[in-house]
Structure 1
Amino acid sequence: MKSISLYKKITSENKEYVLSKQFLRSSTSIGANVEETIGAQSERDFLSKISISYKEARETHYWLRLLKDSNYISYEDATEMLSLCEEILRIIGKIQITIKSRNS
Structure 2
Amino acid sequence: MLSQQLIRSGTSIGAIVREAEHAESIKDFVHKLSIGLKETNESKYWLDLLFATDFITKKMFESLNKDCEELLKLLIASVKTSKLKVK
Normalising TM by the smaller chain, what interval?
A: over 0.9
Bigger CA radius of gyration: 1
Match of 2:72 among 70, 86, 89: 89
Structure number with the bigger relative contact order (C-alpha 8 A, sep ≥ 6) is 2
Is 1:60 paired with 2:43? yes
Stretches of structure 1 lacking an aligned partner (at least 5 in a row): 1-17
Is 1:79 paired with 2:66? no
**SS of residue paired to 1:50:** helix
With normalisation by structure 2, the TM-score equals: 0.97
| RMSD of aligned residue pairs (Cα, Å) | 0.6
Count how many residue pairs are aligned between Structure 1 and Structure 2: 87
Match of 2:30 among 44, 47, 50: 47
With normalisation by structure 1, the TM-score equals: 0.81
For 1:33, the equivalent position in structure 2 comes to: 16
Identity of aligned residues (%): 39
Stretches of structure 2 lacking an aligned partner (at least 5 in a row): none
